[in-house]
Structure 1
């Protein structure tokens, strides 16, 4: 690969990741507008309002660029910088793939406790985390490309990580993992032999 082709490929890869990340965040923000205390079309009014706000914001940005064309240079620089950072090679990633280890670790399978640690980290101070948030995080770090929430559910089921479809985060219920469920010991830990009882008098 030539000296110019390598950075160009990195920017192209990073641009796709940034676009996917922005799309996922926008979709998550719109979905959080759904009211859980209402039913039918009234429950979705918040989603439509947020979608309209997004469209209006894009329209204002377009008008601003038309009025101040030089602003496009600044926006382009910001995009290229974000794409460069997002497109860094996998060897430079700081987040390891705890769900799907590669190489010689693959036969042993992923570490359930490492997965639980990742889920707790993504929860922050919340009481749970949605699986679409976990999937978006993994894809932002170049992992699980082309996979779905269903794939993630199957993987968590295999690891014995409890999850269900009624987890509420920011008032929105969907597939996710609750913090209280992670407090229980994992099946792997429960299968470990207990220490021998003391024989001391």
Structure 2
């Protein structure tokens, strides 16, 4: 790799990560506009209002840049600095959920790390959707190519309780994990039979 290859790779990786992060944040913000107490088209009026606000904001930014073209230099510098920070190699990987690649770690420790990771994703909410968990794991290079149904089976084999319907504030109801169910799952971890053969 050339002398400039490493910095360029870091900027490229950081730009991709930053774009994905901002995209996920914007999508979540728009989704939180959905009203669960209403039905039909009225329930999504908040989402449309937030999309309109985003459109107006982007239009105003475009007008500002047209009026002050040198502003692009400042915006590029800010974006490059954020790319550089986002592309920094992680000193410590996040707690790895249930992957077969956790070499040398006892199975119970891997399960405990997964429970800790799920609690972190739940935060102060009452639960988390499986698609949100899977998206976060795949953003960190885990469970790549796995679908939600397969991910659910994977978790249930480890005795992690999954509900068919879990409400998450601002994100609706779908298959997920409830925070209070995790307290009961601290019992000794069941050993999955099929995955030990390797």
SS of equivalent residue, structure 1 residue 111: helix
SS state of the match for residue 168, structure 1? strand
Give 1:15 deviation, angstroms: 0.8
CA distance in 2, matches of 1:165, 1:30: 24
CA distance in structure 1 between the aligned counterparts of 2:48 and 2:57, rounded to whole angstroms:
14
Separation (CA, whole Å) in 2 of partners of 1:20 and 1:30: 15
Unaligned runs of 5+ in 2: 192-198
| Separation in structure 1 between the aligned mates of residue 75 and residue 143 of structure 2, nearest angstrom | 29
Give the superposition deviation at 1:71.
2.2
Give the TM-score taking structure 1 as reference length.
0.78
Q: 2:66 aligns to what SS in structure 1?
A: helix
Q: Which residue of 2 aligns with 1:88?
A: 88
Which residue of 2 is the match for residue 124 of structure 1? 123
Unaligned runs of 5+ residues in structure 1 are 192-201
Distance 2:12 2:46 in 1: 35
Q: 1:32-62 deviations in whole A, cap 9, x for unaligned?
A: 2111122222212221221121122111221
Corresponding residue for residue 34 of structure 2: 34
Over 3 Å counting, the alpha-carbon distance change for 1:174 and 1:73 in structure 2 is farther
C-alpha spacing 1:62/1:145, structure 2 compared with 1 (3 Å): farther
The alignment of Structure 1 onto Structure 2 pairs a total of residues equal to 190
Distance 2:174 2:55 in 1: 25
Report the secondary structure of 2:97's partner residue: coil
**1:57–1:150 distance in 2 versus 1, CA, 3 Å:** farther
